[in-house]
Amino acid sequence: MVDVSRRRLAANCHSKPALARLFPIHDNERQTGDVHNLDRAGQLDTLERPVTENGGAQSVGRALTLLSLIGRHCESGISLAAIVAESGLNRPTARRLLLALMRSRLVEQEPESRRYFLGEEAYVLGVFASHRFGFLDCALESLANLSRESGDTSFASIRRGDFSVCLHREEGAFPIRTHALLPGNRHPLGVGAGAMAMLAASSDAEIARVLAANAALLAEHYPAYTQEAIRADIALARRRGFALNPGRVLQNSWAIGMAVRYPDGRIAGALSIAAIDSRMNEARQGDLAAHLSREVRAVEERLARRFDAPAKASGPTAGRGDVEMVSTGGIGA
């Protein structure tokens, strides 16, 4: 079983809390391209749509960007110098926003190392959010099962905008492990097995929109993921029922993935299993896919129970037919 404290850390290191206050902006802090988004390495990237509001809303956007950045370094923390470098903000602005976040207890600074970490209020908000969304809570048991049975590493990922974010990594017993994906890592949808599973489970119109939005980023940072390669991967995933990453992100690191859906049919996230290439031949892909399909169904059933409980408390529901219809145990295209 996964340790409870580890579960909570994983669940809340990557939550998306909101601020309850505004952060006034000063004239000497204004600059173009103020708010950027995190690319696959955690670096800030101007290719996503920037926040363009002025005044307080702009400062809130900046503060949330810093909060997200700190969250992606939740295990080891991040220094002020790194925050400045990765955010594109000047040092006084970054310090002022960090102080405001610390006053709200969303961020804390370790006295010895002077590195910044998510604070206790971020943890509390993450716990509250987990009760509403609950994907990771519902997936942890299945990740433990997958890694125990396969000996390999399993992952839970979610979609954020046009990107996939890894929430949790569960190690297996096999001594040679792949390190292509770590909690907090962010990739464009379609890059990696879990990200591909979520993209393949989307509508054709949404796939076209995502690929257009990420075209420049893919061309610059992911040359192996051409538009043609991604579309071929989508077709293969839909045909086989699971997505395959044949070592495109990190050579010799292969993975398979499947999308998980909420009871209403929305994509909740994805489960995936990664292993070195010698442990991912076609026959074993099929065996792992069977394990993965079973655990995807188990996660969907847990999500259905979680979403069904409030509905039963407030009145009659339509029953479990809708849950059965969307619980495909596969890509769900």
What's the whole-model pTM score?
Answer: 0.65
Averaged over 292-312, what is the pLDDT? 85
Asked whether residue 221 carries a pLDDT value surpassing 70, the answer given is yes
Choose between 68 and 46: higher pLDDT. 68
Per-residue pLDDT tens over the stretch 151-161: 999 999 999 89
CB neighbour burial string for 141-169, b if at least 16 within 10 angstroms, e if fewer: bbbbbbbebbebbbbbbbbeebbbbbbbb
Q: Do the Cβ atoms of 278 and 176 come closer than 8 Å?
A: no
Averaged over 241-259, what is the pLDDT? 93
% of residues, the chain, pLDDT over 70: 74
User: Which stretch of 34-43, 187-196, 201-210 has the lowest confidence by average pLDDT?
Assistant: 34-43
Choose between 57 and 195: higher pLDDT. 195
Averaged over 252-266, what is the pLDDT? 94
Structure tokens at 304: 């259905």
Asked whether residue 72 carries a pLDDT value surpassing 70, the answer given is yes
* DSSP-derived 3-state class of residue 277: helix
Asked whether residue 332 carries a pLDDT value surpassing 80, the answer given is no
pLDDT for 55: 61
Structure tokens at 255: 């993975």
Averaged over 263-278, what is the pLDDT? 94
pLDDT for 187: 94
pLDDT for 127: 73
Averaged over 16-22, what is the pLDDT? 32
| CA distances from residue 305 to 5, 7, 179, 266, 314 in whole angstroms, order as listed | 24, 20, 34, 16, 15
Averaged over 141-167, what is the pLDDT? 94
DSSP secondary structure letter of residue 279: G
Nearest to 109 by CA among 81, 77, 69: 77
Rg (CA), the chain: 20
Choose between 127 and 213: higher pLDDT. 213
Asked whether residue 293 carries a pLDDT value surpassing 60, the answer given is yes
Choose between 170 and 35: higher pLDDT. 170
pLDDT band at 303 (very low <50, low <70, confident <90, very high): very high
User: Which stretch of 17-31, 86-100, 103-117, 204-218 has the lowest confidence by average pLDDT?
Assistant: 17-31
% of residues, the chain, pLDDT over 90: 57
pLDDT for 308: 75
Averaged over 226-246, what is the pLDDT? 96
User: Which stretch of 122-126, 234-238, 313-317 has the lowest confidence by average pLDDT?
Assistant: 313-317
Give the chain's domains with CATH numbers. 16-124 (1.10.10.10), 133-326 (3.30.450.40)
pLDDT for 333: 36
pLDDT band at 331 (very low <50, low <70, confident <90, very high): low
pLDDT for 12: 40
Asked whether residue 96 carries a pLDDT value surpassing 50, the answer given is yes
pLDDT band at 128 (very low <50, low <70, confident <90, very high): confident
Average pLDDT, rounded, for the chain: 79
Integer Cα distance of 195 and 314 in angstroms: 35
* Residue 41 Cα to chain centre, angstroms: 13
pLDDT for 320: 31
